[in-house]
Amino acid sequence: MKFDVIDTQPKEILLADYAAYPFAIDTIALTFKLSPAETIVTSKLSCRRLGQASTVLELNGGPYMSLLSLHMDGVLLEAEKDYDLSEEHLRVYNAPKSFELTVVTSINPQENTRLEGLYLSSGNFCTQCEAEGFRHITYYPDRPDVLSVFSVRIEALMEDYPVLLSNGNPAGAGEIAGGYHYAIWNDPHPKPAYLFALVAGNLACLTDKFHTSLGRDVTLNIYTLEKDQAKCDYAMGALKRSMQWDEETYGLAYDLDVYNIVAVSDFNMGAMENKGLNVFNTKYVLASPDTETDTDFAHVEGVIGHEYFHNWTGNRVTCRDWFQLSLKEGLTVYRDQEFSSDMGSRVIKRIDDVKALRAAQFPEDAGPFAHPVRPEKYIEINNFYTATVYNKGAEVIRMMATIIGQAAFRKGMDLYFERHDGSAVTCEDFVQAMEDASGFDLRQFRLWYSQAGTPEIKVDVKKGQGSKTILSVSQTVPSTPGQDMKKPMVIPIVMGFATEHGDCLSAQGLSSNIRPLGNGSFLLMMTQGADEFTFEGVEPTAVPSLLRGFSAPVEMETTLSELQQYFILNFDTDSFNRVEMSDLLLKKEVYKIAEQIEASQTKTVSNKLIKSLGQCLEAYERDPALISSILSMPSENDCISSMKRLSIDAVFEARQFLGKKIAHRLRKSLQSVYLSSRSAAKSLSLKGDKQAVHFRRLQNVCLSYMAKTGGHAENRLIVDQFQDSTTMTNKLAALQALVHSSIGKRKQLIRHFYKAYRKDELVVDKWFAAQALSTHENVHSEIALLQNHRDFSYTNPNRIRSLIGMFTMGNLSAFHRRCGKGYEILANAILKLDDINPQVAARMLTPLGRYHKLDKERQVLIGKQLKRILAKEGLSKPVYEMASKAYE
Ligand code: 0A1
Ligand code: ZN
């Protein structure tokens, strides 16, 4: 979009400008005298000038902190003569070779609604220092390549804050006069400031133990508000499983005597890996079947694992600068995905992860916020905790593992730790370790770190002379902001030849760019703009099953005929590709119907598609979770991101139409599978069998279709499920069905849900979210009412995400209504949030950058709202960066 230019421009930070810090800070001793309105922080730094570099010690600071005093080696320093203070820096002049600097600051945690630095949540103190929060606590070189040994003394009123925690191991505690007490924590592992944490409050604790493979007895604690303590058992189990898994999989053991986790309700993200003291959003710790869904349980396990795995990938080896964020995040997401796969169903985990990648990362890569996995510039680093850095970053690691093989990957990990333990390094260092350990040339592969955009591949399957099968594959990488010309990428394509009785095993005479994987699959190594892969001896009826397990994060088009596509759906040994195929066929059908709508023709639905889905449904018992995925409708987001030329109105209408048709045509089967999976889930869960989760998943996919019929029997079943279920999985699925329905008691039941759970914040979040997804005509006024609800709050990020985030990212047909009201609701919320919590405000802006599939009219409406946002006086840096990128 081109509109007039906005002139104020905060400074861009460039990767190319990286320079090492000219001082070492060997130790930092912190003392906190905690009080909500005024906390005093004393920080003693032992500093060493490195080489002959500058004698000016530059420390980062922020506008929400006051400097009370500054001493060098015990001598009080004078402003202007010895140092200069600006809003963002403290510059100390004439620094000798080595010296001790004592900085005393005062901060006001109670007023901190930004939730970075030191703040209060439910009256308890906690910190969030990644990426640049420590500079709001004290003046310090707040950058990840300055590692220091931290010791911390915390003082606070004993009655209000009986629990005092920081990083590392406890090293003393006691009472002080006036009802105060103190605790001392020492962390022996040098760390950057972003891993610092402090918690003080009135918290209950669940304790357990873990004995490491190196013989260390570790105390595990999970701290929460008293009322939530009963919901921590699952998280504790997940923590122990994570510790065990990292020892078994990578030989990595924990390295402190305690591992503390604290759950807080007010948190900008999911959780934070501070050394020895993780701070978590309650959403990723608390789990009880009556208040959390099966999906919530899976997320708790994944996030607990993620933060634990950071202890090695992130903390022991950290990032040199924030451009290297994916070094720790991509790798740690890969590790948590593998952990979850090993704990549950590998294929279902992969299906869900790829779905998430497509929902969040593909649109990011295709719009104004596109950036490489290793970005080259930023204004606000907090805007770069993105699906590209995290999820595409994990795909990049996964591709390396696929290319070099699991054994070499493990060797590469060992080498990486051997070389870099205790230091701050780059993505390049990681790839180098993989290259050296495996002997593979990864030079071209490195493009995955520097080139943005989702590669598009086209696969043409041809029969050659004799028994030759030739796959011609071409690739293009679309241009992205600042990157017009792209080079061909290395794309590992895992594939096999599907036949009615399993994979065809007779393929031979492979061209040199094909590697057999020994399990019926092959690895095709694409390296050029166009490559050919030839096989001999493939059974004539075998159908290529391409990109198995989504071996590369690309968009793929093939010349497979419809017959072959249905063959894959029905017969492929690769379950992942069966789901991919149903998704593709469903989307194709949506687009066909959308074309009929645009041409004012009668809408028709393919009998073949319905029949195939019906057959899959009938065979549900063998793999209920897989069938639930095969049956699931592609989301609105999915439908619009892969559509070409069509209008979103037609696509949304077509999607609805198709969903209803499937519901009607498979009505009987859906009901019967619903009933049998419901009872299977019930009896399995009584036996404590994990399979219950898979049956519930299918049960609720059936329910969502059944709701589309609006039939009497179906409505009855929805209401029964709503009233009778004892698990939140079922209760919430019924609530979601109810919200969309026109069941008479709808409003009353929704109110009932609220009344029953109003004391449980996380369930109230679900209640807001379910209504944000309403397909009702008056959804905009429903949203407005909810924004005025007494439980809605702009200071709690979970609440914002559940109402505004869900509406704008999960309910696209309502958000994109032609009237433009959806855009206005979002812009109003962002403008309000900008003063309260700029980081969250900036994240909320994402949907305003996803206009590339929209018509002109809608683009203009979005442009208007962006302009309004950019016109706000004193607009925060994070929101400025996002809005100006979207507006360009
Ligand atoms: N490193 C954390 C995510 C995180 C990032 C920033 C935060 O505040 C701005 C908080 C958490 C992780 O990957 O789990
Ligand atoms: Zn992480």
- Report the alpha-carbon angle 729-732-734, nearest 5: 110
Q: Is the pLDDT of residue 4 over 50?
A: no
Phi, psi of 735 (to 5 degrees): -60, -45
What pLDDT score does 199 carry? 99
CB distance 274 to ligand 1 below 6 Å: no
Give the pLDDT confidence score for residue 262 in this predicted structure: 99
Least confident piece of the model among 99-103, 462-466, 693-697: 462-466
* Residue 313 per-residue DSSP state: B
**Cα separation values, 734 from 677, 717, 756, Å:** 15, 9, 15
Which residue lies with its CA nearest to atom 2 of ligand 1? 272
Structure confidence at residue 51 as a pLDDT band (50, 70, 90): confident
Beta-carbon contacts of residue 49 (< 8 Å; ≥ 6 apart): 22, 23, 55, 95, 96, 97, 98
Share of the chain above pLDDT 90, in %: 97
Summarize pLDDT for 489-525 with one digit per residue, the tens: 999 999 999 999 999 999 999 999 999 999 999 999 9
Could you give the CA distance from residue 307 to residue 274 in angstroms, rounded to a whole number? 9
* Residue 156 CB coordination number (10 Å): 24
Answer yes or no: is the C-beta of 266 below 6 A from any ligand 1 atom: no
In contact, 705 and 738? CB cutoff 8 Å? no
C-alpha 307 to ligand 1 mean position (Å): 9
Instruction: Please enumerate in sequence order all residues whose Cβ is within 8 A of that of 244, keeping only pairs 6 or more positions apart, or say none.
Output: none
Neighbours of 211 (CB within 10 A): 10
- Determine if ligand 1 sits within 6 Å of the CB of residue 385: yes
Q: Which ligand gives the minimal distance to the CA of 330?
A: 2
pLDDT tens digits for 519-576?
999 999 999 999 999 999 999 999 999 999 999 999 999 999 999 999 999 999 999 9
Ligand found nearest the CA of 278: 1
In 364-421, beta strands by DSSP E = 377-378
Give me the pLDDT at residue 782, please. Answer: 96
Q: What is the pLDDT of residues 843-870, one digit of tens each?
A: 999 999 999 899 999 999 999 999 999 9
Q: Is the pLDDT of residue 726 over 80?
A: yes
Label the pairing between strands 318-319 and 424-425. Answer: parallel
Pick from 566, 544, 551, 573: nearest CA to 471 = 544
- Determine the average pLDDT of the residues in 692-713: 98
What letter would DSSP give residue 485? -
Give, using CA atoms, the residue closest to atom 12 of ligand 1: 272
DSSP assigned state of 801? I
User: Which of 119, 280, 307, 385 for mutating ligand 1's site (highest number of atoms within 8 Å of CB)?
Assistant: 385
Which ligand is located closest to the Cα atom of residue 194?
1
Per-residue model confidence (pLDDT) at position 19: 97
Q: Is the pLDDT of residue 1 over 50?
A: no
CA of 310 to the centre of ligand 2 (A): 7
> In the structure, what pLDDT confidence band is assigned to residue 3 with cuts at 50, 70 and 90?
very low
DSSP structure class, residue 537:
S
Q: Residue 888 — very low, low, confident or very high, per pLDDT cuts 50/70/90? A: confident
Q: Could you tell me the pLDDT band of residue 8, with boundaries at 50, 70 and 90?
A: low
Q: What are phi and psi of 443, to 5 degrees?
A: -55, -50
Closest by Cα among 844, 851, 760, 757 to 805 = 844
Report residue 351's pLDDT band, with 50, 70 and 90 as the boundaries. very high
Query: Which CA distances in Å does 414 have to 249, 316, 317, 407?
Result: 11, 13, 12, 11
Calpha distance 611→214 (Å, rounded) = 57
Q: 328 CA distance to ligand 2 centroid (A)?
A: 7
Which atom of ligand 1 has the smallest separation from the CA of 267? 10
CA distance 596 to 591: 9
Residue 6 clears pLDDT 50, i.e. is over it: no
Q: Dmax over Cα atoms in the chain, in whole Å?
A: 93
Closest ligand 1 atom to Cα of 328: 13
Amino acid present at 598: E
- Distance, in Å, from the CA atom of 714 to the CA atom of 667, rounded to the nearest integer, reads 9
Cβ–ligand 1 contact at 119 (below 6 Å) = no
Catalytic site residue from 273, 307, 364, 761: 307
Tokens read off for 666: 């498979």
The region that residue 805 occupies, defined by phi over 0 for left and psi between -120 and 50 for alpha, beta otherwise, is: alpha
- Mean per-residue pLDDT for 401-426? 99
Q: Which residue CA neighbors atom 9 of ligand 1 most closely?
A: 130
SS3 for 31?
A: strand
Q: ipTM for the complex?
A: 0.99
307: annotated active-site residue: yes
H helices, E strands: number in the chain: 30, 33
Is 304's C-beta closer than 6 angstroms to any atom of ligand 1?
no
The strand ranges marked E within 453-548 are: 456-463, 468-476, 491-499, 502-503, 514-516, 521-526, 530-536, 543-545
Mean pLDDT, rounded, for 75-104: 97
- CA dist., res. 394 & res. 391, Å (int): 5
Model pLDDT for residues 598-645, shown as the tens digit of each residue:
999 999 999 999 999 999 999 999 999 999 999 999 999 999 998 998
Question: To which H or E segment does residue 428 belong?
Answer: helix 427-438
Nearest CA to ligand 1 atom 13: 329
Stretch 688-709: mean pLDDT:
97
pLDDT at 833: 98
Tell whether ligand 1 has an atom less than 6 A from the beta carbon of residue 272.
yes
Cβ pair 324, 381 in contact under 8 A? no
Cβ atoms within 10 Å of 232's Cβ, excluding its own: 25
For residue 314, which atom of ligand 1 is closest to its CA? 1
Q: What share of the chain is helix, strand, coil (3-state, %, to 5)?
A: 45, 20, 30
441: tokens are 């040339």
Q: Integer distance in angstroms from the first to the last C-alpha of the chain?
A: 6
The pTM (predicted TM-score) of the whole model is 0.98
> What tokens appear for 24 in the block?
């070492």
| pLDDT: which is higher, 159 or 465 | 159
Mean pLDDT rounded to a whole number for the chain: 97
Say if ligand 1 is within 6 A of residue 150 CB. no
Tell whether the torsion through CA atoms of 690, 695, 697 and 699 is positive or negative. negative
